[in-house]
Structure formats: structure tokens, C-alpha cells
Structure 1
Amino acid sequence: MTQKLFLVKSLFLLLTLSLTHFANAQDKVNVTGTVVDKDAAVPLEYATVTFIDRTGERSPQGGVTDFDGNFNIEVYEGNYDINVEFISFETKTFENRTLNSDLDLGTISLGLNSDSLDEVVVRAETTQVEVRLDKKIYNIGKDLTTKGGTVTDALQNIPSVAVDVEGGISLRGNENVRILINGKPSAMAGFDDTTIFQQLPAD
């Protein structure tokens, strides 16, 4: 009698688990779609798709898009607000959508969020090295590596300019070089005396 009772309980438990598994399997649907940039018509990778249960009984569900902007998310059946979001883009919301079967949301286009843009400042900057017919102009202020260094340190960063251990300067192997500071010859250094550049700060 005890064995029969145990067998009946086991079969009942097995049947209950099977029915529960079957119910849970039927309780989910797949939601698919593609998220693209509205202006450029390119897919948005890692856009988030969130399903918010309108009854509040379930925690938010969701996922992200792949490289091609596609998503395929499995969610429980129910009524949801569906939010599609991407950084610096406007959020698109599908309100009060009843999900009781698989749903294809199609192509979802997101436009840039103009409210998140503050201002853009465009500044004209001179290049670090300007090459002209009779001279090469090097703007030391553009070279962050020479901060705190000397003029000699700055000259060592100029392409085709070589500085030896004694401070001698040559341009493409030619030591007959004249250096102008701020466009003018410096009274501190003669034509052949370049050791002064080892003492002058680069800034």
C-alpha cells in the first residue's frame, strides 16, 4: 500500500512538473526588430530594448541589438510599454502593447536628440610644422612633449633636424643653418653658437 501511494505521489509530482514546464514554455513570446539611425540609415549596435510590465508584477525585461542593429528578445506574455533607446538619440516608446504571440516590430528609426546637444565650438588651429620654399616654421606651442623642456629638446622633435650632443644643429645633414626666433635672428645666439638653445625654455 505504501509503495502504491509513493508511486502515485511520484507520478502526480512528475505530471505537475511537466505541466508547469509546458505552461512556462507557452508563456513566452519572441519580439524581433531592427534599430537604425533615422538620418544616416545605418544600424545602431548595442541599442537597448526594454519591456516594462504595465501591471508592475514583473521586473523589466529586455536586451540589446547586434552588429546589424537586429534584436530577438524572449519575454513573458503580457501588456508592456516597449522602450527603444540609444545614447544621444531620442527614445522611441510603444505604449500598451499586448504580447500574446511572436511580434515583429520591423525597422525602428531613431533620430538624434537635439536637447542633449549643448554647443559646438570650432577653433582654427595652425599646424605644428609649416614648410615653405625658403624656411621651415615650427610652432613649439603645438608640441605637448616639449612642455618644461628647452629649445634644443623641441628641435630634436622636428623631422629632418638633427641635434648632436654638443648642441650643434643640422638640417638634412647640412650644418649651415640659421635659426630665427619669432621670425627674427636672436641677439643671444650667433650664427655658429647654438649652445644658448640648451638654456632657453621651449615655451
Structure 2
Amino acid sequence: MRKLFPLLLLLFTLQPILSQRPEGGPGNGSGTVTVTGTVLDQENNLPLEYATLVLQSVDNPDRVTGGITDLDGKFSVEVSPGRYNARVEYISYKTIQLPNQNFSQSTDLGTIKLALDVAQLNEVDVVGERTTVEVRLDKKIYNIGKDLTISGATVSDALNNVPSVNVDVDGAISLRGNENVRILINGRPSALAGFGSTEALQQLPADAIEKVEVITSPSAEI
């Protein structure tokens, strides 16, 4: 009986040790679990490479980890077991939020489809603009306000841009080489720029004039 006592003592001593050894647990034996999944385009079901999986610990928000998808849109990230707020992001796509996920063991999130993030327009205004020069049968109309090259210039500078009109260094205006030109403002002769007078036009800013009409074949009324 004395010979059996040491053997029984050894068995009872090993009993607590054996009961404390885990038979098997979650993860890969290194204290982590693996989160996997696939990210696809919602419209055409094509895999999205370099999509980002972000995992933020619920208990410790400062602890953030994650990974990116491969060529087939698949990701595999190892994390410590716990609860996480997960999200999947990709440039120009809407982010998918997966809050409060319990990753106590390796988990496959399955297929996650992202939709394009297209901005919605309330309305579209189409504004028609007149061309700088309008050519008609009896005249040419030069819209000064549409010509950005004469910004800050005088009316004389603007007239020099009008086809068929020439302004020399002295400010003399000629039409097709003919200096016999009459200047009308709002369709009427004006003392500001009377017949043969050009000094006032050199002082008048170009943005004060809406348009210039060049009438090559004036009527008897003009």
C-alpha cells in the first residue's frame, strides 16, 4: 500500500494542471482572430482592389487597425478578440459602417458591396452667350462686354478691335481706310463724340459701352 501512495499523489498533483490546459480556443493559437471578407462594386460586381477595412476597438477607441483588399477584392486582418466598429472605405464610393462587431473568434464578413458616391445636382442652368462679333447684312455688331482682352481699356482701344475699324496713334478713326466716319451714341449724334471728334472716346472707359455697331451702308436717316 505504501508503494501506491506516491503514484496516487502524482496523479492528484497533475489533475489541476491538466484541467487548466485549454482544449482549443478561437483564433490561431497566437491570441488573435482573423477577420476576412470580399469587397465588390455594387453596380457590376467587380472586385475593388485597395479598398480599406478599418477596425476601431469599442472599449479603446484609440486602438485602430485594419488592412486593404487584394487584386480579388479580398481582405484578411488579424486582430485581438473583442468588439470593434468596422467600416469599409474606398475612394469615390460610399462608406459601409458595421458597428459593434463581436470578433471573439475568426469571422468572415462575407461579401460587402460598395455603391458609387455620386453628388446629386438640384438643377442645371444653361446660359446662352452671344458671340463677340455678330455679322448682319447691313452692319457688324461688336459686343464689348464679351471681349475680355479690352478690360480696363478705353473706347478707342475697343474700337481698334472691331473688324474694318482702325484707330491710329492720334486717335483718328477710319472705316475701311475712310476717315469720313460719324459716331452715334444710342443711335443719335452726341456732343461727347461728335462728327470727327475722338478725344472723348480716348477718355471714356470701354466697359461703359455695351456694343459698337458698324454700319457700312447707312440709310438716308443717318
TM-score (normalizing by structure 2):
0.45
- Which of structures 1 and 2 has the bigger CA Rg? 2
TM-score (normalizing by structure 1):
0.48
